[in-house]
Amino acid sequence: MKILDVLQPEAILPELKSQTKKEVLEELSAPVAQLAQVDPAALVRVLLERERLGSTGIGGGIGIPHGKLPNLDQLMIGFGLSRKGVDFESLDGAPTRLFFLLVTPENSTGLHLKLLARISRILKNEPFKERLLQATSREQIYGVIKEEDEEF
């Protein structure tokens, strides 16, 4: 499965305004919840519960908040870019700037893990990360992800 199989352009936020972890989760959740037709507050609750187990800020400026939501029909992804960076309690303590939000139906463990692994793998590519950080619009971000998605 490719990222763009589940990432819709409307769920790409090129200018996150949030200053805190909770605000980032709320901002990222809004378009995803709307597209999935689920309650945004319920989505944020699931993500915050997951964060209590350990930060999804994996270091290197990357955060991959994720969770499972009942009544969700299909896997959904959102993307957000913070120009300044946010304290996301990252493993390396560095500000987080690139966010991939992943939400899956409660019973889809295998798909969830495969997509998490795919996102983690492509984010190890420094030129890809730099192109994402330089992108200034939803369309540019979509194009950068599309290029990388086709290579993997």
- Known catalytic residues are 66
68 membership: H or E segment, kind and range: strand 66-69
Domains of the chain: 3-151 (3.40.930.10)
Q: Which helix (H) or strand (E) holds 41?
A: helix 40-53
Given a cut of 70, whether residue 152 has pLDDT beyond it is: no
- Burial degree of 131 (CB within 10 A; 0-12, 13-18, 19+): middle
* Per-residue pLDDT tens digits for 24-69: 999 999 999 999 999 999 999 999 999 999 999 999 999 999 999 9
CA 51 – CA 37 distance, rounded (Å): 23
76 Cβ contact partners less than 8 Å away, ≥ 6 residues apart: 6, 11, 32, 35, 36, 102, 103, 104
